[in-house]
Structure 1
Amino acid sequence: MTRFVFSLSAILVAELGLSRSVGAAEPLDAFLEKHCISCHGPDKEKGDLRIDQLSRDFKLGADSHHWAEVIEQVNSGGMPPKKEKQPTQEEIAAFVTNLDSKIKAGRAGRMAARPAVAHYRMSRKEYQNTVYDLLGVRYDPSKPGELNEDTLWHGFERLGSELSLSPSHVDRYYRAAELVLDRAFPTLSVETRKVRKTAAELRYGGGEAQQEALDRLGIKRPLRFLMFPGTIQNALSTNWFGKTGPEHSGLYRMRVQASGVRPPGGQPAHLSIGTRTGEETVDGIIDFDITAAEDKPQVYEFDVMLEMPATLYFCVVATDVVDRRSGAAFRNALSSRGGYIFTHSSETLLLNPNAPQMFDDKGNGIFSTVLLDWIEWEGPLETDAEKSLRNDLVPSDDATPEVVAQHLQRFAERAWRRPVQKEELDGYLKSYLAEREAGEKPVEAYRVAMLGVLTSRNFLYLVEGDPMARERLNDWELASRLSYFLWSSMPDDALFSAAKGGTLNGGGLKQEVDRMLTDSRINRFIDDFSRQWMQLHRVGMFPPDKKLYPNYDRWLEMSMREEPVEFFREMLTKNLPMEGFLDSDWTMVNTRLSDFYGLPEPKADGFQRVSLKPEDRRGGLLTMGAALGLTSDGTRHRPVHRGVWLSEVILGKTPPPPPANVPAIEPNPPKSPKATLRDKLEAHASDANCASCHAKIDPLGLAWENYDAIGQWRTHEKIPAGVGADPQVDPSGQMPDGRSFKDSTEFKRLLIEDRDKFVRAFIEHLCTYGLRRVMTVDDQDDLNAIEAEAKKNQYGVKDIIRAVAMSELMRKR
């Protein structure tokens, strides 16, 4: 049956009351009673929706999103179901036009009544970036005891409705501002220091006795530190720099010269440096593969923010199976200072004969190991650009109150990201004068005023609007909205200049957006948006069972979490078409993921782009280990959760929560025939209360049945209990609109056919992130305009982001 599509003629028929059949002239409630209430009323409540109870107060708008969904379902043929009596096209036209006009009238009423001023608190990450761009100060708000963790809404951590301000927040913001100012203007002089520890110092306590042994044997090679998987060794001790306090916190550069011994056909070792969490584990802040050969050691260099005093440890991670049956004996034999002397794998006579064998008779490693020559730390480091941000920020000790007021006004205008009237600073200047009268030094008194600026709502919040209600952002507000959208931080000088010149709401917007998209700070957007959009915080939330998935380790988990981010970076940088997110003949992998996926190893360190073949069974976001693993519970895959994730992230549709008291799917009974999770799910979903939602969710998850709980390919589902052989998986299904697919490849093809739906969902996610609120029916016209603009450029990822940044929606309050 042909469904209604908006047209001028249909609207005229509906609004002017032109002649039509009696059925088509029925009012809104009559259509609902005739075609909808039987499934969504007091007798039956499909999809947890009671249409008879939806609010008819369209200006209030409490149920506008439900009414918009009703229009979509009626237009698409989803309502009423095909087995029910179908309305005529004229009935549909009259109903849809009538309902749409009511929704639009309500939207106009709500826009006219919107509040004059809106406040959106910065997230922790945005606070961190802002104090760095404002003062050149590095501060980690996620450290225990610092700023409260942000509340998430479907992965997004920036929504104004979620980021409230409690008394505990206020206290922590004061402490954070004090710490930031301490680092910006330290009372003690802090000089950059450098310290190096050699293998002889780290491993052998100086190595004098070991060197004597080498001299007796005529061995000219230097002492090296052989680090086996599970080794925990100090990488930085607080006493290495002498006396170290909080004032020494900041950016440090770590250099380490190392190489690796790699088993034939095995993986390179992975070195993790971080805080100790267990006997053989650390929480890494620096992680990298050791790919250099034993005879060609490489210097690896990383910059890292350290809160001093700090103690860090080395930990070697490897996927090779290490014989740990001897347990402590293994570690003691290799770790005791006098246990062995190591210079090279060919010098096997130096190794402790009582230790488990680490090399074969040809010098090949039996498992991956790291050979450490030295480690060097240098810091704290500050660039000239960072220091320049604090130039002339504090007035001289003999400055008059007028000069102090001028300094504070300049600082407040940058911190508050807008022009500041002198009277707004009266309270802060009074604090300064009160401190001076109490005998405080000028610089300390001025810090009190600066502290007030940094704890003001004008700094902590993005404030949009003023007592006189207006529809659009002014240039200063637009500058902040753009910078926090694309850079997760405050505007830079060029953007401030554009706002001051009043060109942003005019022809200068495109120039600024193009500049921002090519600035290095766009990497903040790549990291933050991709992580929030794809809900990557859930990767590793339920660690896989080691007995079921022995090859899953922290290195693999970290690599999985980074893959979709690096994929997004490549898509944006190259402005590739959006369908690449759904399927691609390439991906981004490091050595660990290439081994896990069975792909050729990258030729360079870190993540590299590699080509895919059909037999690799990868491509796009949906077959990545992160997407497949974050929807698992640690023991088994969860098709429903996979379907919900895909519905939310890819299609922008959040399914309703399940009914209360729905029993969980139980494990297979020991004496029953082995049944797949799909078989149990189909029986579970046969419940009338569950069937309608499962019909929309389950196919989205069942398409990936060939991938287990950590994303490994399989053809049979491993059932630990039950009678018979493990059953073959079935990835076939039927889309809610009736189109069928036999596996994930065909499913991805169907998604690409519906590319426009994915693009629309992506645009809505971008706008939710950029505007810091959920999109509603009130935004549909603006979203349509963004989608039309994106379509002109064949849906390139960068072009879509540019279209959002330049949209009317971005300029509206």
Structure 2
Amino acid sequence: MKPIWKSCKHLGLIFGISGLTVIGIPFPSQIASNGVNAQEQSDFSAQDMTQIANQYCLACHNDVLATSGLSLQNIDFKDINNNAEVFEKVVKKLRAHMMPPSGMPRPDFETYGVMTSWLESELDRNWLENPNPGRVTPIHRMNRYEYNNAINNLLGIDVDVMELLPGDPTADGSFDNIASALPFTPAHMERYMSVARQVTRLATGLPPLIPSITNYEIPLYMSQDWRQTEDMPFGSRGGISVRHNFQYDGEYTIKIDLETNYQDYVKGLGWAQTLDVRLDGKLLERFTIGGDAPGTPTPLSFSGTGEPGSIDWEQYMLYKATEGLEITVPVTAGPHSVTASYVRQQVIEEEIPQPRQGGRLPANSEAYLDYQKIHAIEIGGPYSIDENLGDAPSRQLIFSCYPDQLSEEASCAREILTRIARNAYRRSITENDSQILLSFFNRGREQGGSFDEGIQFALEFILSDPDFLIRSYHAPANLADGATFDLSDAELATRLAFFLWSSPPDEELLQVAESGTLSDPQIYEQQVRRMLKEDLATKTLVEDFAAQWLNLRRLDEVNINTVLFPQYDVSLIEAFEKETEMFVAESIKTDSSIIKLLNSDHTYVNERLARHYEIENVYGSRFRKATFPDTDKRGGLLAQGALLTVTSYPGRTSPVLRGKWLLDNLLGTPPPPPPPNVPILPEAEAGQIPTSIRERLAQHREDPVCSSCHVVIDPLGFALENFDVIGTWREFDEVGNPVDPNGNYPGGVEFSGFSDLRDWMLSRPEQFAHTLTEKLMTYALGRRVEYYDQPVIRQIVREASEEEYKWSSIILGIVNSPAFTSSMAPSGIAANDTQVPSQIADSD
């Protein structure tokens, strides 16, 4: 028995269209007299729709102007299915009140609701008559995140190889797991083979062929005047703390590189400063650098008379002062914290006379007497290895048998390799597969001279085999063009696992798929719920889905002006990210309503973030749940520092960036890209009093080309103006003007700040639910959501509303949808849904 969603002929049983409501706008019992006659909603017809379109739309969308390539002049509203793609776009515009443009006659609020509701109802009805599940992209390469998870789970190791692989592009700025956007080039293959060699040697306990060197740099814009992270001891300043995975027990080097000025002189050598290097908080070495540090030239002796230019002085300033900032230390395998930071002290001690600076030195005095700064930390190794790895977890997982004599090697190798290959390939292993794997084992055994070397070489092949790297989906033989077919149980298990875990199926899911019972509705739901309870599901949905949906990954790219915002440092960045991750993780783990993401009386903070949010009585580096003292100023995603920071410019807030982000990520009505040659916001000229961002945007909206979008974008951004660039609550903006958080949204909606905006969004929960469902469905399918997916999304949201929009209700709706469980033959859908990365052919 198949899940009811899996067969399109059953869709009419569950796809109710009566009582349909527009997202966020309830049906009115009557339409006000503004373009249509008052009438019952149930009597609204295509003729009424035509009348409204003639009154409000044809001024722009006629056969002559055809604004944005759309003419409604001869559209037959009795048969909108022939224009479903167009009308799904119209629905989004109407839902956001983006059309008609500002300055043109507009329907009243109720008429917007009736128009949108009727269009959605007709589109859903037509989808039922002509269901279109879309097409699974037949070739889908793993992205870096998926590959990293897969090798760790398969081999029983804990490594991070993402930086060793090429970056994955995001399709349309959405997610990096979109199949059509993931190339598979010879360069990718070369990297996969290199990584496979490293991780399989690690997992089998064989020494690396060459030591590795990893360099961690500190962004130049980052201030190093204060304690940077919670990993550093109190009384420290600047520096860097990294979590590095040491692949083997052995000896490693840790080398510190200091920041230089434009002349390549090391900064801050005019006085002695103390640098500590720690491993997991334990002091490894303390260095004194600069000034009259013992054993080094004293640079001040060169500044008293004459010009600093002697060979000794130059050599000291260029490199000798930092010679020896390297240590060798034994480290056990696994992730460890490596920290380099300075002991905090005053630049110039009070009441101590300083020598007069002479010659050219004053030109460099700022850099000379400044704080020293760490540019990077380099970790190299291992240079010697503890080879006693017999009890390593990875070896226990891999070597399920071990031969006592040569005659037993082939059978043991077959057992090991077929077991691992079955999990890697996500299917049963054929005899041909077994012979290929044994051939690689024999070659590695011959070249390396041991059983372990043979297993390692065969595993290296598995992890660089396209059967592992690519998820492929196949239509049944002799299928008619445009016909719909169900995915096989094995394909469905793979799709489930990569959606919820970003990793191949585990043993239980694989066994259920091989038994042919995964398509049983009860068993299918049991497996989905089991998978959701695993910590890996929460981890994946937070680290991969939510991090991209909410733009958390951009936090590392935001170049905040630390002169204007000196409190913005590494510890605050880390706290921002951790807060949002823990907040979303709690919501998923407890299967809470997604609507609570918008409004909550608590969040997760440590002492650093609590101070930033003005929450009292929170001490220490540990994150814990804390209640907001004033929910009019905080509560929910909208007021979290991470999201406010990634939607700001380096030196000022941006109502436009914030409003656009809200429309795209929370309200599901993204504005179109700005037209070419749009002028930038005017800045105050020299001698003029700086104008507020509101005044500058008002000038911007005077341009009719800009007005139609900004009338929707700007009010949302204005409502968040009480939060500065890094999310601190404020009453005055960057130039000292009082903050004005008021906004007028089309349709007569007025905001007087963050709290009003949040309440307005809470009053239309279906809109946020629709947006999150659409984002999550894009991520789950690994393709763009198309116009023919919208009726299914609306149905998922309607059903989820009966369970208060719990995460599980939305996820179950997605994994039971035709778009997830079935596919259509190529000729039945648009061409852009069948694309596969063209680079794949180049790699053959």
TM-score (norm 1): 0.69
Q: 1:86 to 1:389 in 2, by over 3 A?
A: same
Instruction: Tell me if 1:324 matches 2:332.
Output: no
CA distance in 1, matches of 2:666, 2:183: 28
Matches within 5 A, 1:637-716: 637-716=653-732
Kindly indicate whether the alpha-carbon contact (under 8 Å) linking 1:317 and 1:555 is maintained by their aligned counterparts in 2.
no
1:740 aligns to what SS in structure 2?
strand
Q: CA-atom RMSD, angstroms? A: 4.8
1:539 aligns to what SS in structure 2?
helix
Q: Structure 2: any 5+ residue segments left out of the alignment?
A: 1-30, 210-232, 255-277, 284-320, 323-330, 354-384, 824-844
CA distance in 2, matches of 1:96, 1:548: 50
- Deviation of 1:237 (Å): 14
CA deviation digits over 1:627-665, x for unaligned, max 9? 111111211111111111111211123221111111211
Q: 1:68 to 1:806 in 2, by over 3 A?
A: closer
Matches within 5 A, 1:537-548: 537-548=553-564
Matches within 5 A, 1:267-278: none
Instruction: Tell me if 1:512 matches 2:523.
Output: no
CA deviation digits over 1:309-344, x for unaligned, max 9? xx94332699xxx643469x99xxxxxxxxxxxxxx
Question: In the alignment, which residue of structure 2 is the partner of 1:100?
Answer: 123
Matching residue's letter, 2:584: F
Q: 1:613 to 1:65 in 2, by over 3 A?
A: farther
Kindly indicate whether the alpha-carbon contact (under 8 Å) linking 2:240 and 2:341 is maintained by their aligned counterparts in 1.
yes
Matching residue's letter, 1:774: R
Matches within 5 A, 1:285-300: none
Q: Which has the higher contact order (CA 8 A, sep 6+)?
A: 2
Question: In the alignment, which residue of structure 1 is the partner of 2:317?
Answer: none
Q: 1:231 to 1:622 in 2, by over 3 A?
A: closer
CA distance in 1, matches of 2:554, 2:240: 28
- Deviation of 1:434 (Å): 6.3
- Deviation of 1:303 (Å): 9.6
Instruction: Tell me if 1:125 matches 2:125.
Output: no
Question: In the alignment, which residue of structure 2 is the partner of 1:390?
Answer: 398
Matches within 5 A, 1:218-229: 228-229=236-237
Which of residues 161, 172, 177 in structure 2 aligns to 1:158?
A: 177
CA distance in 2, matches of 1:324, 1:179: 46
Instruction: Tell me if 1:496 matches 2:501.
Output: no
Which of residues 406, 413, 422 in structure 1 aligns to 2:422?
A: 413
- Deviation of 1:453 (Å): 2.3
Q: 1:476 to 1:643 in 2, by over 3 A?
A: same
CA distance in 1, matches of 2:334, 2:439: 40
CA distance in 1, matches of 2:601, 2:633: 10
Question: In the alignment, which residue of structure 1 is the partner of 2:335?
Answer: 305
Which of residues 445, 451, 461 in structure 1 aligns to 2:460?
A: 451
Question: In the alignment, which residue of structure 2 is the partner of 1:797?
Answer: 807
- Percent identity between matched residues is 27
Kindly indicate whether the alpha-carbon contact (under 8 Å) linking 1:121 and 1:462 is maintained by their aligned counterparts in 2.
yes
- Deviation of 1:548 (Å): 1.0
Which of residues 772, 775, 778 in structure 1 aligns to 2:785?
A: 775
CA distance in 2, matches of 1:6, 1:109: 34
CA distance in 1, matches of 2:731, 2:415: 72
- Deviation of 1:575 (Å): 3.0
Matching residue's letter, 1:491: P
CA distance in 2, matches of 1:176, 1:685: 52
CA deviation digits over 1:282-313, x for unaligned, max 9? xxxxxxxxxxxxxxxxxxx999536xxxx943
- Deviation of 1:132 (Å): 0.9
Matches within 5 A, 1:83-482: 84=105, 96=119, 100=123, 104=127, 108=131, 111=134, 114=135, 118-143=138-163, 146-153=164-171, 154-188=173-207, 228-230=236-238, 243=251, 255-256=280-281, 305=335, 312-315=338-341, 323-325=346-348, 386-392=394-400, 397-399=406-408, 407-424=416-433, 427-431=436-440, 443-466=452-475, 468=477, 471-482=485-496
Which of residues 754, 765, 781 in structure 1 aligns to 2:775?
A: 765
Q: Structure 1: any 5+ residue segments left out of the alignment?
A: 15-22, 191-224, 247-252, 259-278, 281-300, 331-377, 720-725
Question: In the alignment, which residue of structure 1 is the partner of 2:622?
Answer: 606
CA distance in 1, matches of 2:457, 2:124: 56
Kindly indicate whether the alpha-carbon contact (under 8 Å) linking 1:575 and 1:796 is maintained by their aligned counterparts in 2.
yes
Question: In the alignment, which residue of structure 1 is the partner of 2:266?
Answer: none
CA distance in 2, matches of 1:774, 1:8: 33
CA distance in 2, matches of 1:778, 1:696: 26
Kindly indicate whether the alpha-carbon contact (under 8 Å) linking 1:763 and 1:783 is maintained by their aligned counterparts in 2.
yes
CA deviation digits over 1:247-295, x for unaligned, max 9? xxxxxx965469xxxxxxxxxxxxxxxxxxxx99xxxxxxxxxxxxxxx
Q: 1:427 to 1:794 in 2, by over 3 A?
A: same
Which of residues 712, 732, 740 in structure 1 aligns to 2:742?
A: 732
Q: 1:187 to 1:86 in 2, by over 3 A?
A: closer
CA distance in 1, matches of 2:245, 2:755: 52
Kindly indicate whether the alpha-carbon contact (under 8 Å) linking 2:719 and 2:753 is maintained by their aligned counterparts in 1.
yes
CA distance in 1, matches of 2:389, 2:599: 43
CA distance in 2, matches of 1:674, 1:656: 30
CA deviation digits over 1:384-436, x for unaligned, max 9? 75444213378774358677556543332111111233235555555556677
Kindly indicate whether the alpha-carbon contact (under 8 Å) linking 1:107 and 1:778 is maintained by their aligned counterparts in 2.
no
Kindly indicate whether the alpha-carbon contact (under 8 Å) linking 1:513 and 1:806 is maintained by their aligned counterparts in 2.
no
- Deviation of 1:5 (Å): 14
CA distance in 1, matches of 2:144, 2:207: 28
Kindly indicate whether the alpha-carbon contact (under 8 Å) linking 1:155 and 1:537 is maintained by their aligned counterparts in 2.
no
1:315 aligns to what SS in structure 2?
strand
CA distance in 2, matches of 1:584, 1:745: 12
2:568 aligns to what SS in structure 1?
coil
Matching residue's letter, 1:512: Q
Question: In the alignment, which residue of structure 2 is the partner of 1:283?
Answer: none
Q: 1:738 to 1:304 in 2, by over 3 A?
A: farther
- Deviation of 1:173 (Å): 0.6
Q: 1:134 to 1:93 in 2, by over 3 A?
A: closer
Matching residue's letter, 2:782: R
Q: 1:474 to 1:8 in 2, by over 3 A?
A: farther
Kindly indicate whether the alpha-carbon contact (under 8 Å) linking 1:254 and 1:304 is maintained by their aligned counterparts in 2.
no
Kindly indicate whether the alpha-carbon contact (under 8 Å) linking 1:397 and 1:443 is maintained by their aligned counterparts in 2.
no
- Deviation of 1:189 (Å): 11
1:714 aligns to what SS in structure 2?
coil
Kindly indicate whether the alpha-carbon contact (under 8 Å) linking 1:234 and 1:314 is maintained by their aligned counterparts in 2.
no
Q: 1:577 to 1:523 in 2, by over 3 A?
A: closer
CA distance in 2, matches of 1:394, 1:4: 84
- Deviation of 1:789 (Å): 2.9
CA deviation digits over 1:604-642, x for unaligned, max 9? 642111111337711111111111111112111111111
- Deviation of 1:531 (Å): 1.0
Matching residue's letter, 1:183: L
Instruction: Tell me if 1:559 matches 2:575.
Output: yes
Matching residue's letter, 2:738: Q
Matching residue's letter, 1:119: I
Q: 1:35 to 1:99 in 2, by over 3 A?
A: farther
Question: In the alignment, which residue of structure 2 is the partner of 1:812?
Answer: 822
TM-score (norm 2): 0.67
CA deviation digits over 1:575-597, x for unaligned, max 9? 33323222221111111110111
Question: In the alignment, which residue of structure 2 is the partner of 1:337?
Answer: none
Q: 1:691 to 1:49 in 2, by over 3 A?
A: farther
Kindly indicate whether the alpha-carbon contact (under 8 Å) linking 1:488 and 1:524 is maintained by their aligned counterparts in 2.
no
